Amino acid sequence: MQINQEKLNREKIHVLNKLVSHYGIQNWWSEENRIKDWVSMILIQQTTQANVDKALINLESYLTVRQLHELDEETLQSLIRPAGFYKQKSQYIKALMKWFIDHGESFDKFDEYTDKELRIELLSIKGVGPETADAMMLYLFERKVFIGDQYAIRLFKRLGFGEYKNLEHMRREFNHLADRVPLELCKEWHAAVDVHGKAYRLNKNLDETWLFSSNI
């Protein structure tokens, strides 16, 4: 049983690495200004990257913790309107900045938190669900986690790896694999899965047999 499980783990890693090799390095959420990336993780909810980019251009002069915290909500809503759901998202951005200020306004402070403790903290913020929390952990707090979003769930279901019920189920089945690879590769796993998922959404006949090979 243990041997079979190890083989399954290698197969999963092989598929993820093949995706990264095929689609190339995406460098998602790698801005020098981490607050810009943080805000974009809120803005991207239920919209497209093109709309997020428009909102970020409007926010360009306000992308610090203090400026976003002090900006009146009506102005913030106007600036992020292109990303949609601007009333909700303005509240989420405000809640995020307040949480960060309340915790010392330093990313380094969270080095003392375990992954579990950090995730619980992030999930306590209004507007931060499991997928967003995991993205924040991976790209901002540089914790090696596997993001089991809908693209990942659908892909590994199609490939016959299992019937994953939800993000948390998939996270339990895949998260330990993140410990086996460098942080940067872990980031690229998520990006490659999503890029492939969007390509598949546009072409349901997309060939996926290349994801397997005999040398697993």
The pLDDT tens digits along the chain (216 residues) read 456 889 999 999 999 999 999 999 999 999 999 999 999 999 999 999 999 999 999 999 999 999 999 999 999 999 999 999 999 999 999 999 999 999 999 999 999 999 999 999 999 999 999 999 999 999 999 999 999 999 999 999 999 998 998 899 999 999 999 999 999 999 999 999 999 999 988 888 888 888 875 444
Residue 161 burial (C-beta neighbours within 10 Å; 0-12, 13-18, 19+): middle
Look at residue 216 in the predicted model and tell me its pLDDT.
41
Tokens encoding 43: 């803005």
Look at residue 213 in the predicted model and tell me its pLDDT.
58
Q: Which of 114, 108, 141, 111 is nearest to 41 (CA)?
A: 141
The Cα–Cα gap between 85 and 105 comes to 27
Measure CA of the first residue to CA of the last residue in the chain; give whole Å: 18
Q: Is the pTM of this model over 0.85?
A: yes
Share of the chain above pLDDT 90, in %: 87
Tokens encoding 59: 């926010």
CATH of domain 34-140: 1.10.340.30
Q: What length does the chain have?
A: 216
